[in-house]
Structure 1
Amino acid sequence: MKKVLLSFLIALPLASVQPLLIAQDSYPRMPSGKPDFSGNYDTSSLTPMNRPEEFGDREFYTAEEVKAISDGAADRLAYGDQPLDPDRPAPEAGANVGAYDGFWMNFGDSASAINGKYRTSIITYPENGRMPGLTEEGKKKAAMRIPFEWPQEYTKGDAWWLEEPDIHPFDGPENLSLGTRCIYTPPASLPVASLPYNNIKKVVQTEDYLMIYIEWNHWARIIRINDETHKHVSHASYDGDSIAWWEGDTLVVETVNIMNEAPREVAERRIVERFSRNDDGGIIYGYTVEDANYTDSYSAEVSWRLTDKEPYEFACHEGNHAMIGILAGARRQEMEYREKNGL
């Protein structure tokens, strides 16, 4: 009888602890108990931003389609790694000779998995999985944006812009895009998109701040947690002003006061991001954009996978060394164009 009683007394506290052990998850947490998202993440994804029209209203890929996407990516990488024929003829004058070798690129190796499911688009709203259209005012502003590179019809090898009174692409550094000047790349930072390369993000978290280090263009977003007040609009910047709060285990980030590159003005734009844990230990990154230039708001969701890879220094043309060549080349082309055309 004593042995039975002793066994019962030993088992009783163990039984009371059991539910607590089961309830604990394996994800890192802060001293406050909130999730700790600190770590390195690969944000690349082969899921298209907009749902291909042939999928109609179908929200998820089949297992066979997911495999085909991964196999296709592997095949393209293998093809790009094949050695070139050293005896091949020169390309035609003005032809595209390509840029990077395949190993420099990082489009991703699979579609984006969210709790084991693969969506047919990163866009989740509107329901058709496609971005809403621009308003008439939005179209006007889109036409004012500085292009990262000019369309092929403009690249004629001469100073074509001298015949275009409203286009001044190479008057000075400020006429080139922020990306060309190695200053800021919006889709790499806010909201975060999958890009051809530099998709590693480093997250550092404390109880009061979340920092996202963005490799392209060595940008650091500093997000204030539990700060209820945004800075004055006079502090507007390219990545805006971000404050965050917790809704359960989801960190919600609101960003306003975002400065446009061109036209240079504070955008009528509000972005709400949501960070939560994925079933693979990574992050489910969701966001909603309210932008006056679009006919509707839009939402998206994509997975960030944990990785042991580190972001490298983004070695763009620091010090604007290439800028001298760009502007000097433009001045030379203008001189030759004027001499040729009697201007």
Structure 2
Amino acid sequence: MSLADLNERSKAIFRQIVETYLETGDPVGSRTISRTGSLGVSPATIRNVMADLEDVGLLAAPHTSAGRIPTDIGLRFFVDGLMEVGNLTKSEREAIRGKCATTGRAVEDVLSEATRALSGLSRCASVVMVPKQELSVRHIEFVPIAPGRALVVLVAEDGSVENRIIDIPIGLPASALIQAGNYLSARLVGRSIEDVASAVQAELSAKQAELDALTSKVVEDGLAVWTGGEAPASLIISGQGNLLESVQAAEDLERIRQLFDELERKKDLIKLMELAKDGRGVRLFIGAENNLFSLSGSSLVVSPYMNGANKIVGVIGVIGPTRLNYARIVPMVDYTARVVGRLL
């Protein structure tokens, strides 16, 4: 069933049910909808429409209640086609900008403040994926340590030193290692390995590097050991305590406990947030749409943010029950991501 299959009356009733549920958290009955007077239809008519909406999987009846709540499919149907996204107030925008101000602070400090701003305004938990820091390179050197083995020593602009071990052809002369180090240092100095890896690879492939085959292999392996396995991103999570404010019954408490467990599985959460880096704009993961939140019945609203080179480097968003005020949360997450991007 698509949105086009609903007539205007069914759309209006469905929207009213979802908006009432998101506001109250309680199952919505036909009398509740009819009392608003905005639809001009009888409770009996509303009941018939609700039964049709339940048949197609947009609504469900919890327990023995006469009311209905939207299913995860129904919420997706609502946010994709019926929801009217609100605007942030001037004070909300100022609060986000003020919290994220970067004067004299590191990137992680900015991102931490951004999550605190989001959790405070949304009254939910907020999360940000912190990008791997790409340090600029001062020097790279290949040091033989054993037959067929060499140490790749990288010195960053901030003075930090990292080492990796690579395999090299047995009997490779020391002059080839020196030449490989000089070749890479000349191209990497002041830049990150990630920035120049593709350019160096193209140069080697086009035989424009004036290196022999063995030295070229050392250069390729030296690059690969740094760029082949990207370090995992880290997460900053704020405002978990806000989630307890929505607890109304024992099953709500169990749901929050499950969500806390899910937040502890940061690897899975990072994988989910990585999906949002594939495109621009806000992305929603609602309830059982993703295995990570299948137990807690939670939603994640996230948006990627960019660095000064207009490159997506991380993701920030809000986690909470599926009964989120999506119309308010979506612009809030979108605005925060754009503010973080400008500041970075």
TM-score (norm 1): 0.21
TM-score (norm 2): 0.21
Bigger-Rg structure (1/2):
2
Structure ranking higher in helix proportion: 2
